[in-house]
Structure 1
Amino acid sequence: MIKKTTFAFLLFVASQISQAQYKYPSTPERPVTDDYFGTKITDSYRWLEDMNNPEVQKWFKDESDYTNSIVKTISGRDILFNRMKEIQALGGDSYGFIKQVGDIYYYTKNKKEESIYKLYSRKGKSGAEILLIDPNTIKKGATITTFNISPDNKKLAVSISEDGAEVCDIKIMNLESKTFLADRLTPVWSEFNFEFTPDSKAITYTQMATGDNKSDDFLKNMKSLLHVIGTDPKTDKILASKANNPELTILKEQFPEISFSNDYSHIILNIGSTKNEEFSFYASISELSKSKINWKPLIKYEDEITASHIIGDKIFFLTHKNAPNFKIGYTSLKNPDFNNAVILVPENDKVIRKLRKSKNFVYYNLSDGINQEIFQVNAKTLETKPIPLPMGSNAGYALNPRQNDDLIFFNSSWVTPSTDYDYNSVTGKLVKSTQLTSNGAFPDFGKDYIVKEIEVPSHDGVMVPLSIIYPKNIKMDGSTPCYITGYGGYGVSQYPHFVGPALMTLLEQNTIVAFAHIRGGGEKGNKWHTDGMKAKKPNTWKDFIACSEYLVNEKYTSKEKLIGNGISMGGVLIGRSITERPDLYKVALVEVGCTNTIRMETTPNGPNQIPEIGTLKNEEDVKHILEMDAQSKVKKGVKYPAVLIRTGINDPRVTPWEPGKFAAILQNYSSSQNPVLLHVNYVNGHHSSDLDVTFNDEADMYAFALWQTGNPKFQIQK
């Protein structure tokens, strides 16, 4: 009895030491107990979920102010931010998406001395540049998310968001006068498709039920609409919705999106969700003028198709049905039969990724996990040939799939900025881009860094790819800080790409950067994804732990120098890694992270996650969701790493209270002397298109991590 009392007293003392060192804002515990099919979980921070409550709003502001009072005083923090800006400027002007209509090129560009992308046009690739839209003139904090040009080249539609909220307005510009029309279509989501009709007189778009990300109707019950330009949006015709089209069995959390075939002969209705597989319908373009469109089934979930494109009378598709590494086929659009389709590219030992189109060709990537070759297929003759790009990680897109076969490709690696290429599929001519491409000159980063691509055995013997980037001059004695990141969700793959100004700045601080290609991603095909979903989700963080242990065991770094990172769904990854192995990491950076999965389904964006993690309505799923839930795994008296948790107050994807609650429980429960800070950005959402906002967040995180791993240049200023 005495021993138990003494042990309890020691835990109490340790906790008091931690609390004495960091005077966190007070966070009362108000327990609420839920019964999940017989498993009772007590949540002491449920009250923080009421983001409309002034007490909660004050708590977030107090946490933000407290974090800033520490992080902003770390010596070297401003040096990181300024260096990120310098590296960005070294690359010169950077270009976003480029679209071509006739001989006019439209594109977004971020000039090297600026922080946001503006929209420009020019006649011919070398023509005089004309500024069309500066978001700053619309509203402070506004950014461009995407745009489209009418077929007659007389109108431009652009979606604008504010402060990272991702809820946008679509505005329409008269290109002759460079003025906006009165039309304002809102609210729309930043990633949704909108297109002009063939006659350029109307636009199709998907409207949200509400733009309020605190509402239960947020990201639910959306409608695909047809807006005739110049009319009142209230009179827009419904093309598809759950209420208007019960025969389509659209779920309230699914997204109806409209597009047109290359030749405008057909309308395609895709029912979007977080599932990779397509679910779609189609109709003749003549149906657009009818009061209600007669949608015909096109692709079902059971076809397991992840991409499809219509060219002429064929529909080309990418599928993993009976082919974990994917295969490509085609079938007749007049009578689609995916089960008896012609297979153009059978499954092989490499993973087939992406499926793009231009006017007369389709394109696909063949990946070994590092290098990506790109091939083109003539839609008429079915002749297939490789595009002669250099070895490496290759990507690209068509400039106008309806008008021509011109593409732009990007070849890059972890420490080599992208080299852009112009390509024409008809002539086969491939040349380095000289226009509409970065005009800067990065130094040769490759001479200072080594890149290793290896595989590490995980807990079950499965080999997990790990990319390691490190300065040539480091000592393999465990003394070097190492930042390791991963994602592991939705089948998303992390192929080699230039790490960019932020991580390059971190590398320059004599820090290793590593990417763990864990299960739940798609690097090794569809099975790699499904082996990190639902019941198999623990593979995600166990793979990450295995990669982290490898870096320690091989003396790239040590436990006192290891920095773990996870973003968004990667919050499950890093949250469970530090709750399962709190001894392994010195620092955890949790960015807009899903750390309270057992409560996610109650959030506006929660039902969208059901295909990936499961539902609270299913007893078997609940067991696995509880296993993913990092918050409920935090235990009193455990020594957790130093943790910086980042959220954006306007985040529409991971509601701010989820990371907030994780910060609260760690602050109250951890017995270590490591700080736990909540970084709240009031001009950001899940992410930002404003580079200054992004670089400021990253400078704060990296300064915190370098401080905690003992870098003498990054210490609290007295």
Structure 2
Amino acid sequence: MTKTELLSGAHKGAFLGLCMLMGVLSPATVRAEMTTQNTIAAEASDPRQYLEEVEGEKALDWVRAQNDRTLTQLMKDPRFEKNREAVLKIVEAKDRIASPGFAKGGKVDNFWQDTDHVRGIWRRTDWSAYAADKPVWETILDIDALSKAEDKNWVYKGSNCLPPDETRCLISLSNGGKDAVTVREYDTVTKSFVNGGFDLPEGKQVVVWKDKDTLYVSREWTPGEVTPSGYAYVTRELKRGQKLDDAKEIFRGDAADMMAYRSVLRDIDGNYVMDMQTRRPSFFEVIDQFITSDGPVSFPLPLTSEMSAYYEGQAVYSLKDDWTSAKGTKFTSGSVIAFDLKAGLKDPKNIEPVAVFTPDAHQSVEGIAQTKNHIVLQLLSNVTGEVRSYSYKGGAWSYKAIKLPENATLSVSSADDDSDKIFAYSTGFIQPSTLYRADAGTGEAEKIKSSPARFNAEGLKVDQRWATSKDGTKVPYFVVARQDTKLDGNTPTLLYAYGGFEIAMTPSYSGGMGKLWLENGGAYVLANIRGGGEFGPQWHEAGLKTNRQRIFDDFQAVAEDIIAAKLTSPRRLGIMGGSNGGLLMGVQLTQRPDLWNAVVIQVPLLDMMRYHTLLAGASWMGEYGDPADPVEGAFLKSISPYHNLKTGVKYPEPLFVTSTKDDRVHPGHARKMAAKMQEMGLPFLYYENIDGGHAAAANLRETAKRNAIEYTYLMQKLMDK
């Protein structure tokens, strides 16, 4: 939309670079990923290497054959079409909450998809009409109409509008859902792309407005001139009307970085403050430099700290490690700190921040937003949400709690630069999402809309429980089940987790899961294992690199706990996870095949000896480790699902789900693992969506189909006799 809706790395222009962290690789680099020499060398040890050729004819022939086999098996089940129709009805329902974003002039923006708008429309209405539930929507951009006119499968990836007027926007469009995007200048007044305006060809690129006639563009300017992660590290200044080749280079990071880019720091009114340039040596490390008249200035903060806001002249940072200032003040990991930016730039080595927020052992900061006069912290405490509004006056920080529902998952979806209003959602496993408009100044919140129930939750209850992991750590998890569930080990149960990158898993309402699973007598379990962000940076760091077995042990401990409680049994227990969670699923398949009867492995990493050579994989070495390092490489090989399939072991039949258009986690992971199982005579199902990107679905119809595939499989494995 037209506003920065949730700050997690830096304010305004600087944040744009961070929010595009996963998107800086061009198709040329993807095609060049495997040179002929490397392919030949790799195939000498791995005959399935050809499956890494994303759109290679031989690879796609294999994919089509597996898709046909899987769909034939699942679609003949009468539940498949019922499941697909049920999910499609939910995701295309016209009584869904139209998720709002603040726009200029008291307007509300929304991106909407339904039966008539498969790819979606960016639309706008008045706040008063939206609040009265009688909006007359004005279409800003119709992605379906654009796709038809240009004969493209465009997927809308958002807009970046130039403040303060925000009428000129950079629209990001993806072919089929890839992270790589084309970027075009759009006029929201004339509702048309600007004739002769900025138009950047496809690539994973960071694009930031400097002013109305200038962009900072970080991309692959010269073929192959990218970091080992495949990300850009060279920024050029592009003037209006200028050819890309004529753009002037203004910043070059280190070729060994994960990525690097130039951005712009603005105040809350959209006024230019200064340029910033950022190097990210690894996924979790940041080196920011503020460009002053005397040259670049950096602050002596831990490399893991992130600038989160620029507020009332204060630079607000989130700490991921303990840190002691030059004067001896100690700040703990997970804290939010702030200091006067102007003063700090004059004497950067001696900055003396103050703590805005210091977490306890079970708290974490999920996000930071900013209104006209406040910053807003979205917190977790024992995996329960809280939202606080902070103010800085007279050299001191104070806060008030926003009056939102207790014992719920809370999320700030949009904050207004022109007022102190925020939009926030409250939700839970059996509580449909409710939208509130709150005032960061008063702390008051008003209920605006509630989503209708999508499944029958009568008789369901939610419990939070704790399992004891192998090393004695207490691991929380949630169980959603019927109150009258018999503890005889016979309840079909789906266990989900992620466990990585400091991403917290919180209770949320899923109409599809509720309709297809809970309504049919299944139980759902969400595990808050280490590696996530539920309890802050330390909970995440406990499972980094060679400590990752702790994450896998946590997951197994939760499974064993619900089995011991006789909620379920290995015969009735299935597991699901995607991306990093897909790695988790692959490890569980190979480490504990005795615990599960169904394993859904979504857009996964599975070959942990080559993950760093595929697409964005090298950027994740800070999370997983370096396969070339003797110690880290030995550990990775010991847990790599692709390398740990063994003959003579009875594995449950897994379902692999991925996408050809996923240019973040290479589809070769799922392809090669499934092909290896095929050669070993092991049962498996496999579905690869030709479109969809890392979400494995580019539109709502594809989402419904993917859900039908997954839940029909789970029903067959766990609910049937």
Same fold (TM over 0.5): yes
Question: C-alpha displacement at 1:472, in angstroms?
Answer: 3.4
Question: C-alpha displacement at 1:43, in angstroms?
Answer: 4.1
Q: Which of 534, 546, 565 is equivalent to 1:535?
A: 546
Which amino acid is 1:661 matched to?
Answer: K
Equivalence map 1:105-184=2 (5 Å): 105-111=108-114, 114-126=117-129, 128-139=136-147, 140-150=152-162, 151-181=164-194, 182=196, 183-184=198-199
Contact preservation (8 Å) 1:277, 1:304: yes
Q: Which of 452, 457, 480 is equivalent to 1:469?
A: 480
Find the aligned partners of 2:584 and 2:313 in 1 and give their Cα distance: 44
Question: C-alpha displacement at 1:684, in angstroms?
Answer: 2.2
Deviation digits for residues 595-650 of structure 1, max 9, x if unmatched? 11111112121211111111133212112221231111100121100111111011
Question: C-alpha displacement at 1:589, in angstroms?
Answer: 0.7
Which residue is equivalent to 2:433? 418
Equivalence map 1:79-478=2 (5 Å): 79-89=82-92, 92-96=95-99, 98-111=101-114, 114-126=117-129, 128-139=136-147, 140-150=152-162, 151-181=164-194, 182=196, 183-189=198-204, 194-197=207-210, 199-208=211-220, 219-242=230-253, 249=254, 251-256=256-261, 258-262=263-267, 263-272=271-280, 275-284=283-292, 294-298=295-299, 302-322=302-322, 326-334=334-342, 335=344, 336=348, 340-353=352-365, 354-381=367-394, 382-391=397-406, 392-401=408-417, 403-433=418-448, 441-442=452-453, 445-478=456-489
Deviation digits for residues 71-115 of structure 1, max 9, x if unmatched? 222220111111112333557144346131233333312347654
Equivalent residue of 1:102, what SS?
Answer: helix
Question: C-alpha displacement at 1:196, in angstroms?
Answer: 3.3
Which amino acid is 1:266 matched to?
Answer: M
Q: TM-score normalized by structure 2?
A: 0.83
Find the aligned partners of 2:470 and 2:662 in 1 and give their Cα distance: 34
Determine whether 1:678 maps to 2:694. no
Residues 399, 364 of structure 1: alpha-carbon distance in 2 compared, 3 angstrom cutoff: closer
Contact preservation (8 Å) 2:265, 2:276: yes
Determine whether 1:702 maps to 2:703. no
- CA RMSD between the two structures: 3.0
Residues 351, 91 of structure 1: alpha-carbon distance in 2 compared, 3 angstrom cutoff: farther
Which residue is equivalent to 1:11? none
Equivalent residue of 1:560, what SS?
Answer: helix
Find the aligned partners of 1:702 and 1:222 in 2 and give their Cα distance: 42
Deviation digits for residues 168-198 of structure 1, max 9, x if unmatched? 1112222232111243123343xx764434x
Which amino acid is 2:258 matched to?
Answer: E
Contact preservation (8 Å) 2:238, 2:248: yes
Which amino acid is 1:677 matched to?
Answer: L
Find the aligned partners of 1:419 and 1:588 in 2 and give their Cα distance: 32
Equivalent residue of 2:339, what SS?
Answer: strand
Equivalence map 1:474-553=2 (5 Å): 474-553=485-564
Contact preservation (8 Å) 1:358, 1:405: yes
Deviation digits for residues 644-693 of structure 1, max 9, x if unmatched? 1111011111211111111112233356xxx3012111122211341211
Q: Which of 556, 577, 589 is equivalent to 2:588?
A: 577
**Structure 2 residue ranges without an equivalent (≥5):** 1-38, 130-134, 323-330
Residues 72, 208 of structure 1: alpha-carbon distance in 2 compared, 3 angstrom cutoff: farther
Which residue is equivalent to 1:15? none
Find the aligned partners of 2:681 and 2:55 in 1 and give their Cα distance: 28
Residues 476, 223 of structure 1: alpha-carbon distance in 2 compared, 3 angstrom cutoff: same
Contact preservation (8 Å) 1:369, 1:495: no
Question: C-alpha displacement at 1:514, in angstroms?
Answer: 1.0
Residues 210, 510 of structure 1: alpha-carbon distance in 2 compared, 3 angstrom cutoff: farther
Which amino acid is 2:141 matched to?
Answer: I
Find the aligned partners of 2:671 and 2:420 in 1 and give their Cα distance: 49
Which residue is equivalent to 2:31? none
Find the aligned partners of 1:258 and 1:250 in 2 and give their Cα distance: 18
Which amino acid is 2:604 matched to?
Answer: G
Residues 412, 238 of structure 1: alpha-carbon distance in 2 compared, 3 angstrom cutoff: farther
Find the aligned partners of 2:570 and 2:223 in 1 and give their Cα distance: 44
Point out the more displaced range, 95-104 or 637-646: 95-104
Question: C-alpha displacement at 1:273, in angstroms?
Answer: 7.2
Equivalent residue of 1:678, what SS?
Answer: strand
Q: TM-score normalized by structure 1?
A: 0.84
Find the aligned partners of 1:404 and 1:281 in 2 and give their Cα distance: 30
Find the aligned partners of 1:470 and 1:52 in 2 and give their Cα distance: 43
Which residue is equivalent to 1:246? none
Contact preservation (8 Å) 2:100, 2:108: no
Equivalent residue of 1:415, what SS?
Answer: coil
Find the aligned partners of 2:66 and 2:179 in 1 and give their Cα distance: 24
Q: Which of 45, 67, 87 is equivalent to 2:70?
A: 67
Contact preservation (8 Å) 2:206, 2:261: no
Point out the more displaced range, 322-331 or 683-692: 322-331
Deviation digits for residues 284-320 of structure 1, max 9, x if unmatched? 5xx7xxxxx94322475x2532442112321112213
Contact preservation (8 Å) 2:168, 2:185: yes
Equivalence map 1:519-668=2 (5 Å): 519-668=530-679
Find the aligned partners of 1:338 and 1:390 in 2 and give their Cα distance: 42
Residues 106, 510 of structure 1: alpha-carbon distance in 2 compared, 3 angstrom cutoff: same
Contact preservation (8 Å) 1:91, 1:441: no
Which amino acid is 1:371 matched to?
Answer: T
Residues 318, 52 of structure 1: alpha-carbon distance in 2 compared, 3 angstrom cutoff: closer
Which amino acid is 1:565 matched to?
Answer: M
Contact preservation (8 Å) 1:594, 1:658: yes
Find the aligned partners of 1:315 and 1:635 in 2 and give their Cα distance: 53
Find the aligned partners of 1:270 and 1:369 in 2 and give their Cα distance: 34
Aligned length: 650
Find the aligned partners of 2:100 and 2:286 in 1 and give their Cα distance: 24
Which residue is equivalent to 1:13? none
User: Between the two proteins, what is the percent identity of the paired residues?
Assistant: 20
Question: C-alpha displacement at 1:204, in angstroms?
Answer: 3.6
**Structure 1 residue ranges without an equivalent (≥5):** 1-30, 35-40, 243-248, 288-292, 713-718
Find the aligned partners of 1:676 and 1:277 in 2 and give their Cα distance: 39
Q: Which of 694, 701, 711 is equivalent to 2:720?
A: 711
Equivalent residue of 2:558, what SS?
Answer: helix
Find the aligned partners of 1:274 and 1:125 in 2 and give their Cα distance: 46
Which residue is equivalent to 2:9? none
Contact preservation (8 Å) 2:90, 2:454: no
